[in-house]
Structure 1
Amino acid sequence: MKFNTISVVGLGYIGLPTAAVFASRKVKVIGVDVNQHAIDTINKGEVHIVEPDLDMVVHAAVKEGYLRATSQPEPAEAFLIAVPTPFKGDNHDPDLSYIESAAKSIAPVLSRGNLVVLESTSPVGATEQMAAWLAEARPDLSFPQQAGEDSDIRIAHCPERVLPGQVIRELVSNDRVVGGMTAKCSEAACDLYGIFLQGDCVVTTARTAEMCKLTENSFRDVNIAFANELSIICKKLDIDVWELIRLANRHPRVNILQPGPGPGVGGHCIAVDPWFIVSSAPNEAKLIKAARQVNDAKPLWVQEQVKRAVIEFLKTHPNKTEKDVTVACYGLAFKPDIDDLRESPALQIAEGLKNNHLGPVLMVEPHIETLPSKLDGSILATIEAAMSEADVHVLLVDHRQFKQIGHKRTFRGVVVDTRGCWSKG
């Protein structure tokens, strides 16, 4: 199947790199988003997110006329939907409203022979639900659930599986799991990704493709939970958890997650996807749910460690009160060397400290220029200012800049190191 024009709906951390990579192969790409700032920024050949090399690829694609952003879908041969799938309510139920809105927005411009691919990480059955929304909006066209292999529109699910900070490279090199609603749907999706993909297209059903992405991240979440639980146990028993993991991993059949425990689990994948499995099978997903609960509880445990550090500082400074103690949080992103704050445990910890600590709280995040609204009242400080002014230093994200401090640091006060970078210094 030949594609002259591709539409990517959702120009965030996955959609924009995907659009840019297609455009870099000299294919016309129309990016669609509801964020006018993102649209204007992209059309100037610039980017609104931090991702290595993305700015160069976008700049070249826009300059050469292969990439354009707009707020309204336009006709194309293929449509990729890469919009958020957050939670709704307190039970971690998946919210498919963004997918529904995206599907209904492209429905008027669909035509016979088009391909629609859902890239958004989704609960099992979401691709079929998207197809149902499209069929309802366009009764003049047939869809796989109605006409099977003879459908007018091809529908498939192909979840991304890339690492923030390496998205451009991994989009091209990683294998892709393609789940079409029919064999012809899968074939069309493989043709689409074949435009840039160097890895393999592995074909399966739509439901299995959906579950595959959830399984990959749930596997990682369970392993992180084991390391996080070890860190809590080791703190109680006065054992260096990082040394313990290094020693345990010398066993030929033991491979505990490295770099080991941290302040929790963040991002819009590992912290979210396991709940989609739990919501689909709540009585069966016992281990997956327990792992989520362990990791979700870790930020609260870290806040308790900071409270203890404040008390420890006050013991050596009897003339001060908690109002006089300045706490610095180093890192707000959900992982090192990026600006992405989605589902970030570091941000959750920082917000908790801002709301509960009586003294000043400094926020150190070199990858952002302004603090999110939930941290209003806090100060976005430089590394140098935090090192000189803070009494309690809390390392939450092992950004490259913070790792460099560990080799030559001269902190005054107490250090709470959730990443094991400064504890070894």
Structure 2
Amino acid sequence: MEIRKSISSVGLFVIVFTCALWSLSTWAQVFYYSHAQDLPSAISSYQKQSIESYSLSILKNTLSKKDVNFAPASNTAGNKSQLVINLIRDEKNEDSYHWITPLFAFECKKNIRCTPNAGSQATRIAVSYIALAKGEGSADIAERFIELFAQYKGSDGFALLANALKDELKPSFPATILTFGVLSLAGELHANSDNLWVIADIVPLFSEKGERGKLKGIAADLVNDILDEMALEQNILSAPWARIAKEAITKSNVLVFSVIRTEERESVFHWVTPVSRNLHGLYGINKPNFDSFTDVPKTYRVGTLLQDYRYNIAIEHGFKVKAYDSWPALVDALINNEIDTIFGSQGAIDFGCNPNQFKCETIRLTSKYDISTAYLALSKKDTCVLVLEKLKLAAAGVKMSDKFNERLSSWSDMVSQEYGIAHHTEHGVVHLWNPN
């Protein structure tokens, strides 16, 4: 499953999706937090304390079993605050933070900044979040945080905590309601998801056409389950990637899968939930392993796909590069010693190598380049941020369900037995390489 990284290019060649891989062991031992001073002035000091206590409890309860510790940021100690609690999302700070989970909604009044695209209700709304300041490695941490918070919001513990605070706030704010995992002091929030347009690229085993043109595959199953969770009956359409990219850039409420997360796409998509990850690097036969991509001898002849982003990367690194029109052609070139390594992924090697003609297991990773992640993504243009939250909550529920995990397990067995593709699964995400 290889999908080009360019926003306008088409990728239909293989089965390999892709973003950065991390584990809990890479997280900081201590995260520093601060409370934003964004709460409306109509909230009393006592209520403010209750709101801050509630928000901090959500943070700590969500990550209580993840060996993550928290401490208040101290300017005097020189600690940079990484997490900001109850920060209102607005046009100015939109690109400065990862918006982990929304906490409260308020009416926009006087000094209360409004959140763009915060619902279809007549009243303009400000939505406050737990946010993570962007920085090196923050996207990987934010991805897992977002998943964990969405899971916690589906728990009985969260419901008890939120309803208790709702009852406390109601005497002063009688319209307070819990919806989409948000305590709204402004009354019911409206996030119309009925007009979602769901569209997928064709990728073997993940989203491919079955009988009567209906999409099948593990990614299509995941999305169908999410739509069912939201009681939506939209059909999943399919189109070439070039058209998908155009629609996502120009239209609202376009739900797309599977989209590789890249820096240039941050302004185009909201990232709902990861679908798969893929390890990219140089693969060769009887070649030594190099710790760094830059350590690989520049005398190596490197093969890539035609018009693939890795062609330019290999050129920039000084390799002798030759391009081929398919993964089977690349594998044949490697076997026939036309090239020394293939710049691709394990899934691409598995797809391109015929085990009846060659010992495919002898083609091994020579040097890692990166790991990429493919997502279920939602177009950003004029799309309601609360629709995004509905999708995240539904996705978390599906990924924790017995139904989906049994289907994922069966799919994994089939892929191993019938195709011999190296992979494993974690947290409902397919990782396209062996775990060891």
Q: Which has the higher contact order (CA 8 A, sep 6+)?
A: 2
Instruction: Give the structure with the higher percent helix.
Output: 1
Report the TM-score when normalising by structure 2.
Answer: 0.24
Report the TM-score when normalising by structure 1.
Answer: 0.24
